[in-house]
Structure 1
């Protein structure tokens, strides 16, 4: 009987790993095909940089909305149904984007996709926290390695698919989104077959939200994650745009640099996970985010010859999210569901503001320094300012992590 139970447990654990790893693969595709697609959307629909920033910021509200109620869905429906719902909504959003023909309908479709993104991110974070109870830093980074793996190839695949001729016409960004998001149906299959651990079966006890609202360290963790995620996700949305318009690179070359960023990003998550367990989560956050910020800002200052630094910044920013998730899982063991939902929801608010700020800075500086004698001079200055802000967010992540280190040290809770 025990042998049968062991086989059953091993089989179910394998299915759980397929959900987590497959889910992060899909999440990476959904987040990072937008790099090559945004310039095409901008051209087709006649959008300026501020509208792009508003598109990303407004639709981040969908992500924020999903983060706020995913924990409630987990408690009411269970993690299994919540996870299945997240995969299904992602696939459906691809069809909505395919049918989008105006800025308004595209915004609505993106809003729905971000709801799916929020559902999926929280569901995967809860599942990972409940099954990775040993070597948490290493396993969290390994899980997020699959996000980096798909992110690494997503820009190249997206650029290639948009040029494919199908049924007498070009697939374009609409068809590309529909195909890529349809991949969400694949990890739904093991989710249907597996037994997912709910909060009750994992032995967790809910604690009041006000506990986190009064915890200084909890708010510092929110700030660390917020600055890190703004810097990480902004690369997927703005790097291709920057390289094409500031340096005149082709879509293929720009997408190649974005893929190089994710090569470094992916390798870092595969290699640096054990480092975070060894030197500690908070020290890791300080060092890695500072490195990323300096690389991003240095790349802009150095000009086209320093473009490789854009890719190298991926090494530092990659461990931030999984390391924070590991910190939450260990520090709030037994209450990870509430801690993760609170932290990621607050991070979503910052993400909305961050996306808006990048677009506003880029457009504002473009208008301020617009020079009729030099075509595109104002746009280049705006793009440079926007990308420096991306690097500055990584530096703020490091600075905030220093305050977190001090706070946890005082409480004798360093992990």
Structure 2
């Protein structure tokens, strides 16, 4: 990294980019730490497929109740404080859930998952909003790399889960230690987020010069003290914007494709091919690795081909992977399908978040709307697949995801950059951050993705 040699504003953005990347990583790590132990949770509770689906529904409900207000919460608290508070809630929920599983306390498990869902939903929205602010300051696409950070975290969580399952580490001690360490890291990382500015009675903030930011190049960052009545009206109006809703539909399809794999691939491998729990965790790790690799490649693909072409190609890969996994006669061939599935699921969510944040002034409310729509699938879809799996088995049930993939494919044109996106991004001018200072970056011109 060469960040120390950069001018103060550019160095602040470079450090914020790395901090956001790390927070995405830790969010993914917490989720996969839980998801990788689902077979053990199922065994300890003695639940059938439909009961597991109902159990996961409690986390979904928690997130869906929290997400619609997440934009206003982040505007009032600022991204850093929102991440700290709701990462703490997420951690408390997971620890409660893990120890309740070990005691067989079904209802405490459900309460713990509900709390986990609340923490997960707002934490996720807050880090995406901070990522959008950093992306606007950079003037080029970087959101896929932040989501690659999430994927790296899920890989680490799934890998650790596979080791814990293979060595028979109790679920409660595995989760408690892992998420406690994760929370400590979150508390350190948020100190490097972009400054939110100070209340001035207005609606949005410029990232002030408290860390050397140049007001002429700053992008609005919503922080504490925003006018709540105006914020509420703005949030409601975003739900009437056709482009925002269609982007939400694209993200919904991608989120269901990703979320179903996170929740059910491990169990589908175990039950579908009669293998052990450790191999189920390996199946999840294969999916997450493929998705991570695609997210690292995503920025270059977006710069070269544009959002719409990349999203269409991604949908094709996801569809092929789903069909292969659900219909393959052997485990190794099904794992090839998992690779294609992971590649196809990789870019829909981050590209949708970037599209929703094209206009910095409306980024907070639009990202909140898109995240709410997307997570309605990410959290609600997989539990419903669990009910279907009770009738037809996990692998066959997962084939239903092909339907929203096709629907998303039909509306990807909504993700084209706004006519003002290039101008606002280019307004920063000059050298903001060197490519080598960004997570996973390669040397290339500082350009904004071309419209399709």
Taking structure 1 as the reference length, the TM-score comes to 0.84
Structure 2 counterpart of 1:368: none
Uncovered stretches (5+) of structure 2, i.e. residues with no partner = 198-203, 207-218, 223-230, 420-449
Change in Cα spacing, 1:73 to 1:408, as seen in structure 2 (3 Å) is: closer
| Cα distance per residue 1:257-315 (max 9 Å; x no partner) | 22122221111111121211332212222221221122111222222252121122111
Structure 2 counterpart of 1:369: none
Change in Cα spacing, 1:43 to 1:204, as seen in structure 2 (3 Å) is: closer
Q: Take 1:281 and 1:406, find their aligned partners in 2: how far apart are those partners?
A: 6
Shift of 1:41: 1.0
Structure 1 counterpart of 2:205: 200
2:345 aligns with one of 311, 317, 320? 317
Query: Runs of 4 or more off by more than 4 Å in structure 1?
Result: 4-8, 134-137, 204-207, 405-409
Structure 1 counterpart of 2:378: 351
SS in 2 for 1:130: helix
Structure 1 counterpart of 2:177: 179
Q: Tell me, yes or no, if structure 1 residue 394 matches structure 2 residue 405.
A: yes
Q: In the TM superposition, what are the counterparts of 1:28-177 in structure 2 within 5 Å?
A: 28-100=28-100, 101=103, 102-133=105-136, 138-162=141-165, 164=167, 171-177=169-175
Structure 1 counterpart of 2:355: 327
Structure 2 counterpart of 1:222: 248
Which of 171-180 and 260-269 deviates more? 171-180
SS in 1 for 2:360: coil
Q: Take 1:325 and 1:334, find their aligned partners in 2: how far apart are those partners?
A: 14
| Cα distance per residue 1:155-184 (max 9 Å; x no partner) | 2211222455xxxxx631222211221112
Which of 154-163 and 262-271 deviates more? 154-163
Q: Take 1:400 and 1:51, find their aligned partners in 2: how far apart are those partners?
A: 34
Structure 1 counterpart of 2:365: 338
Taking structure 2 as the reference length, the TM-score comes to 0.78
| Cα distance per residue 1:121-171 (max 9 Å; x no partner) | 11111111111126766411111111111222322211222455xxxxx63
SS in 2 for 1:197: coil
Shift of 1:5: 13
Shift of 1:106: 1.0
Structure 2 counterpart of 1:269: 295
Which of 132-141 and 249-258 deviates more? 132-141
Q: Tell me, yes or no, if structure 1 residue 294 matches structure 2 residue 294.
A: no
Could you say which structure has the higher helix fraction? 1
Contact 1:57 1:353 in 2 (8 A): yes
Uncovered stretches (5+) of structure 1, i.e. residues with no partner = 165-169, 366-381
Q: Take 2:415 and 2:131, find their aligned partners in 1: how far apart are those partners?
A: 24
SS in 1 for 2:113: helix
SS in 2 for 1:249: coil
Q: Take 1:300 and 1:143, find their aligned partners in 2: how far apart are those partners?
A: 30
How many residues in Structure 1 have an aligned counterpart in Structure 2?
386
Contact 1:240 1:255 in 2 (8 A): yes
Change in Cα spacing, 1:260 to 1:104, as seen in structure 2 (3 Å) is: same
SS in 2 for 1:208: helix
Contact 1:151 1:262 in 2 (8 A): yes
SS in 2 for 1:357: helix
Shift of 1:328: 1.3
Contact 1:162 1:171 in 2 (8 A): yes
Change in Cα spacing, 1:127 to 1:36, as seen in structure 2 (3 Å) is: closer
Shift of 1:239: 0.7
Q: Take 1:287 and 1:150, find their aligned partners in 2: how far apart are those partners?
A: 25
| Cα distance per residue 1:314-347 (max 9 Å; x no partner) | 11111111111111122x3321001001111222
